[in-house]
Amino acid sequence: MKVLHVSAAKNWGGGENHLQNLCTELKGAEHFVLCSKGSEVQKKLPVLRIKTIAAALPVKFDPRYIRKLIKICKREKIDLIHIHDTTALTLAIMATKISGKLPPYILSKKTSFPIKQRKQTLYKYNHQQIKKILCVSEVTKKITAEAIVDQSKLVTVYHGTKIPKDSSAAFDLRKKYNIPSDSILVGTIANHIRAKNLDTWVDTIDHLVNTLGHKNFYFLEIGNITERTADFERKLKERKLEAYYKFTGFIPDASALIPQFDISLMTSQSEGIPQFIYESFYYKVPVVSTNVGGIPEIIEEGKNGFLSESHNGRSLGDKLVILSKDPEMQKEFTAISYKKLVENYTTVKMASDTLAQYKEVLYG
């Protein structure tokens, strides 16, 4: 079968990592990717020998992108279109208005954001062209169901993580960023966007250092710098926390650096299931996270990690202290998490489950 993946993302994140993994792991299809010109997807996927076509998309709704989508379907005789984000969905629905006939659609719902109860939004998510909606977690499926008329279309397919063949890091984090050798290195991989809620990340550091007086922690945050970053920097400076953190910006293949973390920290206010947590499981790094989206489906509080409510930096900080002082607990958490990962949450399983949905849509 020939599958056209449609992405409108500009930057690289967990959703784009999922797209890459699908194209490399799912062997039962020939993959084509339509992406935005100048995007990180266009830069990265061709290097992996994934057939990638870029279209101009300087604004969210560019007719050149829509025309290229239709053209690829006709030229390559595409069997199925897999849509990977909400902007791509809007463009694909617009394409149905222009083209007389397009292949059936599968939509990936990768976040736990509820679908807005607006007429146009509900129209596109319930469009008859969409045959399946693949939800990244059971929570995402439940939230999405509130806006979907035909709920038989909803299926949970966990993304999982790719088991790396080579996990060697490009450099030593402590040397590169002058991190004290005796400090507890708490790492986070997250772009500086609203969903990741780095205000809580700031509050967590403030509570640990200024309230509890723990000066032996250092926080490293890897991810794309955005217009929000300056405000985080200002808050950290006001609280005199410059010596306890580093924003590195985007680092290619950042997951290979996770083994250098002592603890992984996630402060999101909304999630599907972050790839960063799966990768921390694989590298046997214990996780402290907010209890949002699908995260409690893979982390059981006190059994294989610690969870706190969102926006609660005080609780996250307290749990970082508890975990850092108990090496046996760390070993127990990581052993259970690693076992859960390899048995249930790999990209091999994700590809197999996705292929089954492709076949059901095409062949019944």
Instruction: Report the alpha-carbon distance of residue 279 to residue 263 in Å, rounded.
Output: 12
Q: Are strands 130-135 and 184-189 parallel, antiparallel or unpaired?
A: unpaired
Q: Are strands 306-308 and 80-83 parallel, antiparallel or unpaired?
A: unpaired
Q: 2-160+346-363, which class in CATH?
A: alpha beta
Same fold, 2-160+346-363 and 173-344: yes
Indicate if the pLDDT at residue 168 is higher than 90. Answer: no
Which residues, in sequence order, are CB contacts of 108 under 8 Å at separation 6+? Answer: 15, 18, 82, 83, 84, 133, 134, 136
Asked if 265 and 187 touch (Cβ cutoff 8 Å), the reply is yes
Mean pLDDT computed over 239-252: 96
Please report the pLDDT score of residue 160 as a whole number.
Answer: 83
Length of the chain: 364
Instruction: Report the alpha-carbon distance of residue 291 to residue 297 in Å, rounded.
Output: 10
* pLDDT digits 0-9 by tens, 173-210: 999 999 999 999 999 999 999 999 999 999 999 999 99
Please report the pLDDT score of residue 171 as a whole number.
Answer: 92
Q: Is 151 exposed, middle or buried (0-12, 13-18, 19+ CB in 10 A)?
A: exposed
Please name every residue paired with 266 in a beta bridge, in sequence order, or none if there are none.
289
CATH topology classification for 173-344? Rossmann fold (3.40.50)
Q: How confident is the model at residue 166 (pLDDT cuts 50, 70, 90)?
A: low
Residue 77, helix vs strand vs coil: coil
Q: How confident is the model at residue 165 (pLDDT cuts 50, 70, 90)?
A: low
What's the token pair of residue 324?
A: 């850092």
160 Rama sector, left if φ>0, alpha if ψ -120 to 50, beta otherwise: left
Domain boundaries, the chain: 2-160+346-363, 173-344
**Segment 145-153 long-range contacts (CB within 8 Å, at least 24 positions apart):** 146/114, 146/115, 147/114, 147/115, 147/117, 147/121, 147/122, 148/115, 150/126
CA nearest neighbour of 93 among 113, 65, 74, 114: 65
* pLDDT digits 0-9 by tens, 66-117: 999 999 999 999 999 999 999 999 999 999 999 878 999 999 999 888 999 9
Asked if 55 and 37 touch (Cβ cutoff 8 Å), the reply is yes
How many CA atoms does the CB half-sphere of 236 hold within 13 Å?
21
